[in-house]
Chains A and B, each alone.
Chain A
Amino acid sequence: MSHHIIDLVDLSKDFDGEEALKNINLYIRNGEFLTLLGPSGCGKTTMLRLIAGFESPSSGKVYIDGVDVTNVPAYKRKVNTVFQKYALFPHLNVYDNVAFGLKLKKVDKKVIDRKVREMLEMVDLKGFENRSVDALSGGQQQRVAIARALANEPEVLLLDEPLGALDLKLRKEMQIELKRMQQQLGITFVYVTHDQEEALTMSDTIVVMRKGVIQQIGTPIDIYNEPKNAFVADFIGESNILPGVMVEDYFVEFAGQGFNCVDKGFSPNEAVDVVIRPEDIKLVPPADSPLTGVVKSVVFMGVHYEMQIDAGAYTFLVHSTGKAEEGSHVGLSFFPDDIHIMRKDTGE
C-alpha cells in the first residue's frame, strides 16, 4: 500500500447533458482491491470506462502511475478490463483468446506459450486450450476473460460486474478466487458492483456512489459500521431509518421516545436521520423497554429470523436468532452506540 496508481482529479462526464459523474476526486493505492459500489445509474461503470479509456471525460483528468493519460487511447494504457458479458472473441479458441494481447504486442512465441499456459493454470482451465469459447459454461468463460486480461500483465485490472451472470454458489467461489488472485499477483483491482455483500467480502476499500457523486470512501468495516448518510446505511445491508430530532448532544428523540446516544455536534433540535441495524435490536419483555410493538410477521432466513415489529410510529425490521410469536407484544432494546445519527440527506 504505497503510492497512488490511479488519480482521478475533478472528473466529470455527461452524456448529452445528462451528468453521469460530477466532479469526482479519488485516488487508488497501488495493490489495493477497490470496489465502486452503487445502484445502477450511479456512474460506477462510467468511472471504470474513463479509467480504461473507452470514454473521455467532459472535464477533469485521469492519472495512471502519476502520468496524465486523459487523452491517451485505451490501447496504450497499462490497464486491462474484464467485461460484464466477458466479450470473448467467438472466432478464436480459448488459447488464442488468452494470447490475443500478447500476439498484438508481437511477443516471442515461446514466451506467449508459457504465459498463456501459466494463466490458464491460474484460472483452473488447464487442458481447455483448444476449446471453442462458445462451448464453455458461463463460469468458464468468466475465467477465460480474467486470464485474457491478466496475460497482458496490467498494473491495474478493471472488473465490470464480472460475476453478475453467475449463479449464487459459483459467484461465492469466484469471489474468493478473485481475492486470492489479487493477493497472489499483488496488482490493483478496481471492481464495479451493485452487490453490497460482494463489496464487503472482497474489498480493501469501498467507494459508495449515488447519482454520479461519491457518498463515502472507506474500509468495509467503516462503511458498514459508520455509514455517513442514510443512503449508504440503506444500501450497505438492511437498516431501520427513522426521522428523529437531535435534542442536544448525546440525546436524540425518535419513534416518540427519547434515547441516549454517542453522537454530538448537531445544532439543538436539528432534524436528523436515525439508523439502527436490524441485528442490533434485541427483543425483550415489554416491561423492560420504553419502546414496544406488536410482531407483524416472522420469516425464517436460515441463520436468523426476520421480523417486522409495528411500534406505532414506525415498523422496525429486526434480525434475531430467537423467535417471537406473531401477534405477540414485545419490547425493543438497543445500546446507545448502536444508534447512528446522520445529517438529513440533501439528495446529493
Chain B
Amino acid sequence: MKRKYFATPYLVWLIVLIVAPMILIMYYAFTGQADGAFTLDNIRTALDPVYMKVFLRSLELALVSTVICLLLGYPIAYFLSRMSPRKAAILSMLFIVPMWMNFLLRTYAWMNLLDTNGLINQMLVALGLGRAKLMNTTGAVVVGMVYNYLPFMILPIYNILQKMPKSNIEAAQDLGGTNFQVFTRVVFPLSLPGVISGITMVFIPCITTFAISRLLGGSQFMLYGDLIENQFLSVGQVNGGWNVGAALSCIMMVLVFICMAITNHIDKGEENGGTLL
C-alpha cells in the first residue's frame, strides 16, 4: 500500500464535511426556490440595506470585542511569558479549563450573573447603588463574546512571546534600549504573527455568533448569525429561506475574507520593515 493512501480518510472527511456543504451553500445561494434555476435574486435580497445594517452591527460588535480581547489578552500573555514555565503552566490552566466546559453553559452562567436579580445586581443593591439593567444590552453581548473568546487571543500571543529568544531582548537592551523601547521596537513587532492569529481566532467566531447575542442580548438583539439562523429555521425551505440564508452566508464569507486579507496585509507590511507604530 502506497504512503499517499494514508491520507484517504482525511480526504473523505474534507469532502463530506467541508467541500460538500460549501457546494450546497453555493447551490442554494444561486438558485431559485421554486424552479431550481440559476438566479441572482437571493444575493440581491441579501444585500438589502436592512440586512446590511445587521451586518454592520455585527461587524461593530465583533471589532469592539476583538479590540477588548487584544487589550486584555496581550498584557496577560506578556506577563505569563515572563513567569517561570511552571507558574505560567498553572496560570494558563485557569484560562484553558473554562474552555473545557460547554460554551452554552458558560453563557448561561453569565445570564445568571447579569440577571436583574443576579449576583452582580444583588451586590449593587447591597452597596446601595440600586439595580442596573445589565441583561439584554450591547454590553452584555460584548462581555459574553470577550469571556468566551479571550483564551483564543491569549494563547497564540503567549506562545510566540514565550518562544522569542531572550538574546533578541538582550541585544536591544545592549544597544541602548530602555524597557519601553525594547518593547515597542523589538518585542511587539516580533509578536505580531501571534497578534494576527489571535485577532483571526477571536474576530471570526465573534462576527458569526448567534447564541451569545440571543442569550445575553435578548431576542430583539439581532446579529448576522441570528439572521442566517432565522432564515434557515423560521422562514424555512418552502418560503425560500434556505436560499436567502445561503446567500447571506456567502456575503459574510466574502466580507470576512476581505477583513482577513487586510489584516494579513498589515502583517506583511511590518515584516518588510515598514513602521506602522
Contacts and interface: CB of A to CB of B under 8 A. Distances in A.
For this complex, into which size category does the number of interface residues on chain B fall? 20 to 34
A54 interface: yes
A87 B170 contact: yes
B175 A100 contact: yes
Given A75-B178, A104-B181, A89 B173 contact: no
A314 to B, nearest CB: 45
B170 A101 contact: no
B175 A148 contact: yes
B239 interface: no
Interface in A28-73: 52-54, 73
Contacts of A90: 190
A152 B175 CA distance: 7
B186 interface: yes
Contacts of A92: 273
Given A85-B165, A85-B167, A87-B170, A101 B175 contact: yes
Nearest to B182: A75
B168 to A, nearest CB: 5
A91 B174 contact: no
Contacts of A89: 168, 171-172, 186, 190
B80 to A, nearest CB: 22
Looking at B172, B174, B177, B270, the one whose CB has the most chain A CB atoms below 10 A away is B174
Given A90-B190, A91-B189, A96-B273, A104 B167 contact: no
Contacts of B170: 52, 54, 74, 81, 83, 87
Contact of B190 (A52, A91, A93, A148): A91
B174 A80 contact: yes
Contacts of A149: 174-175
B71 to A, nearest CB: 22
Interface string B185-229: 110011010000000000000000000000000000000000000
A189 to B, nearest CB: 15
A94 to B, nearest CB: 10
Given A91-B189, A91-B190, A83 B167 contact: yes
A90 B273 CA distance: 10
A179 B176 CA distance: 25
A300 to B, nearest CB: 41
Nearest to A74: B173
A114 interface: no
A169 interface: no
B185 A104 contact: yes
A342 to B, nearest CB: 39
B179 to A, nearest CB: 8
A105 interface: yes
B60 interface: no
A92 B168 CA distance: 12
Given A75-B176, A105-B176, A87 B171 contact: yes
Looking at A73, A81, A88, A152, the one whose CB has the most chain B CB atoms below 10 A away is A81
Contact of B168 (A54, A87, A93, A105): A87
A204 B88 CA distance: 46
Contacts of A96: 273
For this complex, into which size category does the number of interface residues on chain A fall? 20 to 34
B273 A104 contact: no
Nearest to B167: A87
Contact of B271 (A54, A81, A91, A105): A91
A54 B173 CA distance: 9
A266 B175 CA distance: 52
Contacts of A152: 175-176
Nearest to A145: B171
Contact of A74 (B174, B189, B190, B192): B174
A108 to B, nearest CB: 16
Contacts of A73: 173
A101 B176 contact: yes
A197 to B, nearest CB: 26
Given A90-B190, A91-B273, A104 B165 contact: no
A79 B190 CA distance: 25
A75 B189 contact: no
Given A75-B173, A104-B185, A105-B176, A87 B273 contact: no
A174 B120 CA distance: 68
Looking at A76, A87, A88, the one whose CB has the most chain B CB atoms below 10 A away is A87
A152 B185 CA distance: 17
B165 A80 contact: no
17 contacts: A54-B170, A54-B174, A74-B174, A75-B175, A75-B176, A75-B177, A76-B176, A80-B174, A81-B174, A83-B167, A88-B171, A89-B171, A89-B186, A93-B273, A104-B177, A104-B181, A105-B176
Given A80-B174, A87-B165, A91-B192, 18 more contacts: A54-B170, A75-B173, A75-B175, A75-B176, A75-B177, A76-B176, A79-B174, A81-B174, A83-B167, A87-B167, A87-B170, A88-B171, A89-B172, A89-B190, A91-B273, A92-B273, A100-B175, A152-B176
